[in-house]
Structures are given as structure tokens and as C-alpha cells.
Structure 1
């Protein structure tokens, strides 16, 4: 209940206007009770952002299940689609920074990693068998490429540059990268 309501609040107002007090109020807790349950503010945000990853992974799985043969296009379009539909929750993932002495709890890292695992699986499918060992590293690089394009789309930078097709641009970079890896063989 706490995480679901926290996620709703994050989706409504974004990270910069997020209030743990508001979440506590919405569920009928005191702020002290909320922190007794969650540990601290960072643990609350970690849990909310992990929920975003779960929803994002589900979104991508559903998109892939409904996709045609061009699953690479589906991944790129799905990345942008989720970010656009969940702008505040999506950007909160990248706006929250843990203190230097605090790491992401392992259970959250594993849950969040399912999204990357999904991308790795799809990249493996398009690579020849002898290149599949490169899939994990390549997938992370491709995610970074798409992410950069997506951030510029979400924050309006591409619009200011006159770019009207950021999804197609990101897809072209992904296809070029996949072709380059296959040409190395």
C-alpha cells in the first residue's frame, strides 16, 4: 500500500516535488511510521523506483508479446513509449541519487536487472551464435544509446533542435551498432 501510493504520488508530481509526508498522509500514517517501515527517505525512493522498473519490464514484455518480427524496433519504441506515458516516474529513476556510502540493496538490483536481462535476451536473438557472448555488453551500450535519445525527447532538447523523429533516430543508431558488431566477425 505504501509503495503503491508513493508511486502514484511520484507519477503525479515527479521527483522534485515528491513528498514523503504527502505519501504518509495519503495512507493515514505519520511520517515517523513511514520511516519506521521504510528505514529512510532513500529506501522509500528506491522501493518506488523499483516498482517503476517492474511496471516497465511488464510493459516491455507485453509489447514484445504483441510485436511482429521486428523485435528490435519494438524494444526501442517500447523504451520511448514507457518513458512518455510515465514521464514523472521514469525520470525519478534517474533523478534520485544515493548517498556515496549507500548501495542499492541486492533484491532491488535483481528486480531492476530484469529489464536489462530482457534486452540482453533480445539482442542475443539477433546475433549469430558465435557473437552471442557479446550480447550483455552490447545490450547495455544500446540501452545507453536509446536512453540518451529518449532523455532528449522527454526534456524537449530534440524539439529545440528541430528533430521530429527521435525514435527513428535511436532505432537507426541501434541498427548501426548491431550491424557493426556483426561486421567485426
Structure 2
């Protein structure tokens, strides 16, 4: 077991998040615990609680890393000179790819819940808002007269729909024939929703 002064708090933080990330590359959070994680990096559970505040906050920090990775992927894979609808389709396809490639990280992002008495920290909410801003920006180009509230509603509707398709696809519960591709379902969703939304 490492001594308390072997690493700084920030180094312990990075060690824990890196080890948790390695675990989530191969299996679900259910196979990990605070005790196992602490043991894996050579510290006590109490040390991790001292660094993060709680196991929930540790998981929230891992989710922040996931949101950062997803945001970076969205920027990297955005096609050059794309139309707003192409941007939305790229967002949805990138989201699907990320969910497939990082299944357990992606699941943790939505399965983890803070205790009822704890609010989502500003630093996490800012990351969430940044992702929605990508969708809202594309929608604003399609319908410049829409209000901010209408853009927020449409962005969240699109995301929730894409997320639902991704979740069912990963769990193999779409109950669709093998010739119906998930990507085609997402493209159909974006095309028809956006077309209808623009006419409102």
C-alpha cells in the first residue's frame, strides 16, 4: 500500500480516474467498487474519499471526462462546409459510434445518479450544455426565427430520440430485421423530424 505522501491529491485523482477508465474499457461499473479501485492504485478507500469527497463525486468526475471525450469527438468528426442537417446527422452518427466504442463509459454517464440532496455541479452542467449547444447551433441555422426555448426543446428531443435508438441497438432490442441498419434509422429520424420542425 502506497504511503499517503507518495502522490499529491491531483496525482491520486488522475490515478483513480485512469484506473477506472481502464476498467470501463472492458466491463461495467457493477464489477468495480471504491475498495477495489483504491486497492488497484495502492491507496485506501478513505484516501479516495478524502480526494473526491465521495464515491459519487468520483464517478461524476469520470463522467466529466467522458463528456469531454464526446465533445472532442464531435468537433473532430464534424464535416467541413456541411449543411445544418448534415451537421445534425454527423452529431447523431458520432454519438452512436462513441456509444459502441465506449459502451461502459457511455452507460455510466446515464446510469449514475447523485443522491437527491446533491445538485449537479456547475462544472458538469457546463459540459452538458456545451453538447446541447452543438445541436442548437445547427438548428438555429435552419430556423433563425425560433426562440432559444424552442431551440432547446428541439435539441433535447433530437438527442433523446437518438439516445433511445442507440440504447436499444446496444442492448439488441430494436426487434428489427437484419437489413435495417441503425444508421438508417437515425438518418430517417433526423430527416423527418427536422423537416417537420422547420414547418412549425
TM-score (norm 1): 0.89
Do 1:15 and 1:96's aligned partners in 2 also have CA atoms closer than 8 Å? no
Change (3 A) 1:8 1:168: same
* 2:146 is equivalent to residue 131 of structure 1: yes
Within the alignment, does 1:9 sit opposite 2:23 as a pair? yes
Hey, what's the Cα distance between the residues in 1 that align with 2:25 and 2:151? 33
Looking at structure 2, the residues matched to 33 and 170 of structure 1 have their Cα atoms a distance apart, in angstroms, of 45
SS in 1 for 2:186: helix
Give 1:49's aligned residue: 63
Contact 2:66 2:106 in 1 (8 A): yes
Bigger mean CA deviation after superposition, 94-103 or 143-152:
94-103
**CA contact 1:50–1:112 (8 Å) conserved in 2:** no
Provide runs of 4+ in structure 1 moved above 4 Å.
65-69
Q: Deviations over 1:62-120 (max 9, x none)?
A: 11156855222211111100000100100111111222222211111112322112222
Counterparts in 2 of 1:137 and 1:36: CA distance versus 1, 3 Å: same
Aligned residues: 182
Deviation at 1:60, TM superposition (A): 0.9
Counterpart Cα distance in 1 of 2:95 and 2:23 = 22
CA distance in 2, matches of 1:18, 1:132: 44
Q: Deviations over 1:135-165 (max 9, x none)?
A: 222111100010010101111102x443531
CA RMSD in angstroms comes to 1.9
Number of the residue aligned with 1:154 = 170
Aligned residue for 1:21, secondary structure, equals: helix
Matches within 5 A, 1:52-63: 52-63=66-77
TM-score (norm: length of structure 2): 0.83
Instruction: Flag the structure with larger Rg.
Output: 2
Change (3 A) 1:17 1:66: farther
Query: 2:161 matched to 1:145?
Result: yes
CA contact (8 A) 2:88 2:135 kept: no
